Structure formats: C-alpha cells, structure tokens
Amino acid sequence: MEHPCYSLDNYFAGDKPCLSFNIEALHHDTPYNSTEMHRHDYYEIYLFEKGGGHHAIEFDSFKIDNNSVSVIFPRQFHLINIDKEAKGKIIMFNEELFCSEILRKELRAYCVDLQMRLNNLSLNASQFTEIAELFVMIENLFGDLNVIRKEQIRHLIKIILLKLMDMSKSRVLTKQEATESNAFVEFTNLVDRQFKEIRFVNEYSEQMGLPSKKLNALTKKYSGQTALQVIHDRIFLEAKRMLAFSGLSHKEIAYELKFDSPSAFNKFIHAKTQCSPSELQFKLTNIYNKGD
C-alpha cells in the first residue's frame, strides 16, 4: 500500500503564499487524516503538556505521556490518535529554510540514533518548562510576523532542537545499524557534493562499491525514498534556495544546476510542484515578504 506524503503547502491553500513554518494547538483541523498512516516532507515537533492517546512512528508505538516531546523527521511513517483531554502544541517547518542544516549535515552521521531518541522523549518538570517557554516565544512572534521575527523563530527552533538533543540519551548502534547508517551517510554526502554533475544512481553506487539495489534498499529504509528521489530532492532543494535568494534569472539557475536547457528545468520544477519556476519563486519569496 502506498501511503500519502503531505507538504506544508497543504496548510496554506487558496491564494495564501506557501509558508515554511506553522505553529498550531494540538487539536487543530488538519488538511488530511492524521489518524491514518502517512508521511510529511517537513519536520514536526509535538509538545505534550497533558498526554493521552498513542503515537505510532515507523515500527514503534508510544503512549503519549504528560511533559513529553515527539519530533517527526521528514518522510517518517506515522499516525497519531490524541485524546480530547490532551493539551499541547505542534511546530511544523520545512528543511530548506528552517534550520535543519544542523540535522542534514553536522549531525547526519547520527541520524539513525537521533531519530530514535527524539521520536519520543519524556522530560522532567524543569526540562519541559524550558522547552514550553520557547514554544510560547515562537507563538508570540508568529502572531505578528515580520522578517526580523521570522529570523528569531528560525533560531529559536534551532535552540529547541539542540536542547532536546542534549536532554535525550544516546544509544549504541548495533554493528549492522552502524554499517548501514555509515553507508547512507556516505551516499548523502556524495550527493551533497556532486548533485550538479552526477544524476544517476549507478554512478554513486560505483563510487561506493555498493550494488544499486542495496543502495536503494538503504535509502528506502532511512529516508523512505529511492536513491534517485534523494538525488532529485537535493537538486530541488538547491533550486528553491536559488529561486528565493540568488537573484539569478531562471535561465541562469537552469545552467548553474546543469540542466540541458531552461525548458528541462521548467519541466523538473513543474513535476515537483505543479508550478512554473515563476510561480514557485513567488511562493518562496513571500515566505519572507509576507507580514512585513
């Protein structure tokens, strides 16, 4: 069965520009059924002041406790059933603009352990108060947005993640987990360095001395995507950054990213978003212009 993968765009339908961040109360109307197994292409941080219900993430199921936090990483399978009496908040943010470079690069080597640690984390009273206060600060800033407040939110999210990493306890990976994790990290690092020049999975598998079939199995396990989808997502991430920040024309971006032609770049963007590069650029630039 193919489970749906939702984007943060789903929260901002109609004529609203796509935002890369959102904060909601625990019981809010979602544009999808969160009680059915699904994935997102963005991060979620659940803060449970009062627990109640169950949260299934990948192959684990957790009882939702008081004073707990759950971080859902992009493309993790999960479903959540929250009791009506439960109380808390949810922060959602996309990886291209909101601080996840700290997860993508510096801490990528620990991605397997990190996800297991942060998927379900119980906090003591003082730890919970510390994190909850940061949520309140973010919510207050979000209520009256401008460019400066958006940058403050970005850094506050980073602080929350760093604090949660510090509060959680690491575990020793098994030999197989360490081997597989290292191979996945090697592949993503290679893609980061070479995605403009190398677009084919077999070229990466040859560099790694790993069969393409095994590489695909690893990327499916740790990212929920095929190896080719990982490569395309890295190209797309760079395209979005360049459309938002570079000041280059679409033609210049196409050639900078090694597309054969501007038309090929347009088709790639449309396949990913159902938008033209101009429409996507409008959405991305409004992330920072909206509310100024």
**Which is it for the CA torsion 22, 27, 31, 36, positive or negative?**
positive
d(CA 86, CA 27): 8
**Which is it for the CA torsion 28, 33, 37, 41, positive or negative?**
negative
Percent of all residues in the chain with a pLDDT value above 90, rounded to a whole number: 43
Best-predicted range by mean pLDDT (11-15, 146-150, 273-277, 279-283): 273-277
First to last CA, the chain: 44
The better pLDDT of the pair 70, 145 is held by 70
d(CA 215, CA 205): 7
On the 0-12 / 13-18 / 19+ scale of CB atoms within 10 A, 263 is: exposed
Q: Which residue has the tokens 């602080």?
A: 159
- Say if CB 188 and CB 208 are below 8 A apart: no
d(CA 22, CA 138): 10
- Say if CB 104 and CB 143 are below 8 A apart: no
User: Which domains are assigned to the chain?
Assistant: 5-167 (2.60.120.280), 175-289 (1.10.10.60)
The better pLDDT of the pair 81, 98 is held by 81
The better pLDDT of the pair 65, 17 is held by 65
pLDDT of residue 171: 60
Paired tokens of 33:
């059924």
pLDDT of residue 109: 47
Percent of all residues in the chain with a pLDDT value above 70, rounded to a whole number: 85
| Selection from 2, 11, 8, 87 nearest residue 41 by Cα | 8
- Chain segment 197-235, per-residue pLDDT in tens: 999 999 999 999 999 999 999 998 877 789 999 999 889
d(CA 111, CA 187): 13
pLDDT level of residue 131 (50, 70, 90 thresholds)? very high
Task: Please state, rounded to an integer, the average pLDDT across all residues of the chain.
Answer: 84
Average of per-residue pLDDT across 140-158: 86
- Chain segment 17-47, per-residue pLDDT in tens: 446 788 899 988 888 888 788 888 888 999 9
pLDDT of residue 21: 82
